[in-house]
Amino acid sequence: MAGSGAFVELLEEDVYKYYFDGEWRKSASGKSVSIINPTTRKPQYKVQACTQEEVNKIMETSKVAQKAWAKTPLWKRAELLHRAAVLLKEHKNPIAECLVKEIAKPAKDAVTEVVRSGDLVSYCAEEGVRILGEGKFLVSDSFPGNDRNKLCLTSKIPLGIVLAIPPFNYPVNLAVSKIAPALIAGNSVVLKPPTQGAVAALHMVHCFHLAGFPKGLISCVTGKGSEIGDFLTMHPGVNCISFTGGDTGIAISKKAGMVPLQMELGGKDACIILEDADIDLAAANVVKGGFSYSGQRCTAVKVVLVMESVADALVEKVKAKVAKMTVGPPEENCDITPVVTESSANYIEGLVMDAKQKGATFCQEYKREGNLIWPLLLDHVRPDMRLAWEEPFGPVLPVIRITTVEEGIHHCNASNFGLQGCIFTRDINKAMMISDAMETGTVQINSAPARGPDHFPFQGLRDSGIGSQGITNSISMMTKVKSTVINLPTPSYTMG
């Protein structure tokens, strides 16, 4: 059970503590933030509302801890990360229970998220040892006009304090995808978890605590992003911001100072289906890609662009699969579970009603109870409908019928987002040419968009992000190159 067993020290009365200097603490604010269970729509947990003074103290301690950590051998950093990975997997059930209660993630997917996170931490430890153990050796005579008297040694050094802000939909996985690369690279981490998902994140942080990381190296500040977020992102102590979320990221990028930014933002991933596609394969991927975790994934299929000649066949097959989906509570492992908040459900409903009013065809009846929205496929969606462009982050999927491939590519590239896209065709040459024309960070051929495996590069163009993630890219992003130049006394060619 959450808050019991190994996690008992996280909770006092009914409020979860925040983590600072190796200890679980109550905020001096005396205030807490409620986490509403999306299924029951009743308060489930409470977390501390941390103050600005507490953030200041965290930054000071974090800076000191980082200096010592940067001198800690790589193998030692990796050893602790491996230990944390084992602890995460050992405690997968209580952590997954929080995910079920806080964000209505189906129980089996919640366990998968924790296990995947443990794997990510281990992989990161191994990869970090390899890539951080290597530097470069340059000689000056390779540049025109230079002698062979300067030798340059480069290595990768940590940035300092990495501020990690993940979103609600993967509060454990998208936290460790920032924490593990930051730590292996010699940085300290200040984590601000999403409010919905904060308790799962606190449990995850406790696994790092139990692993025995030095005090002050990892901190976790809780509170509403709207209240504490600006203070954190504009704090002079922060040396790097790794953020995943929605438009908030665009605002942060405008306010942040001279620090490297890693931004993983929204998506409107297009699925282009050609006449020669394997329609069964395409339909299976449209359903999996569009409706897994009720469409609350950055890489969910968010618009289907299908050639008119095969559109009826595709829609029929998708409809048949949607009819078989189970809808209900996450504890029962239903395919479709309540969306995270009432305001999200209202937003989704607004998009659906706009499409209805403008003439979209509903393939199922629109049904909603509280935060629970039944899966809905909308056919004959046109570019004048909001659903053609906006990210619903819910179980509603628009189908736009196209008559040329160019029309599909144009729709994909006209979006503000450019995260991923996918193409279904049996013609690899066509697939490659369309991939080349699609302006997105990744294109999947004959499969739905996906973030993982977590060592693949992952990046979004335009409003979908800054930088590139994936374990190797994140480690590199959280370091800076340092050069040491040895100046020899005389040009080497004059030596006898």
Instruction: Give me the active site residues, please.
Output: 264
Q: Which two tokens stand for residue 488?
A: 């020899």
Contact stretch for ligand NAP (CB under 6 A) within 178-186, 261-269, 303-311, 330-338: 261-269
Contact stretch for ligand NAP (CB under 6 A) within 59-67, 132-140, 148-156, 221-229: 221-229
Q: Which two tokens stand for residue 110?
A: 């919640």
- For the chain, the straight-line distance linking the first and the last C-alpha, in angstroms and rounded, comes to 77
Check residue 167 for interaction with ligand NAP (CB under 6 A).
yes
C-alpha to C-alpha distance for 325 and 363, rounded to whole angstroms: 14
The size of the interface with ligand NAP (CB under 6 A), counted in residues, is 27
Instruction: Look at residues 386, 396, 377 and name the one whose alpha carbon lies nearest to residue 358.
Output: 386
Check residue 295 for interaction with ligand NAP (CB under 6 A).
no
Q: Which is nearer to ligand NAP, 27 or 140 (CB)?
A: 27
Check residue 442 for interaction with ligand NAP (CB under 6 A).
no
Contact stretch for ligand NAP (CB under 6 A) within 72-80, 238-246, 319-327, 474-482: 238-246
- Considering just the CA atoms, what is the radius of gyration of the chain in Å? 24
Instruction: Look at residues 184, 176, 209 and name the one whose alpha carbon lies nearest to residue 73.
Output: 184
Check residue 186 for interaction with ligand NAP (CB under 6 A).
no
Check residue 224 for interaction with ligand NAP (CB under 6 A).
yes
The answer to whether 377 and 363 are in contact (CB under 8 A) is yes
Which residue of 168, 208, 213, 424 would you call a contact of ligand NAP, by CB under 6 A? Answer: 168
Q: Which is nearer to ligand NAP, 94 or 418 (CB)?
A: 418
Q: Which is nearer to ligand NAP, 165 or 202 (CB)?
A: 165
Instruction: Look at residues 403, 417, 401 and name the one whose alpha carbon lies nearest to residue 465.
Output: 417
Check residue 164 for interaction with ligand NAP (CB under 6 A).
no
Check residue 248 for interaction with ligand NAP (CB under 6 A).
yes
Length of the chain: 496
Chain center to CA of 163: 14
Check residue 245 for interaction with ligand NAP (CB under 6 A).
yes
Q: Which is nearer to ligand NAP, 221 or 311 (CB)?
A: 221
Q: Which is nearer to ligand NAP, 226 or 487 (CB)?
A: 226
Which residue of 233, 337, 442, 472 would you call a contact of ligand NAP, by CB under 6 A? Answer: 233
Q: Residue 305: which residues within 8 A CB-CB, separation 6 or more?
A: 270, 271, 272, 273, 400, 402, 407, 408, 411, 412
Strand partners, 379: 361
Please report how close the Cβ of residue 232 comes to ligand NAP at its closest, in angstroms: 6
Residues that bind ligand NAP (CB under 6 A): 165, 167-169, 194-195, 224-226, 229-230, 233, 244-246, 248, 252, 264-267, 298, 391, 393, 419, 460, 465
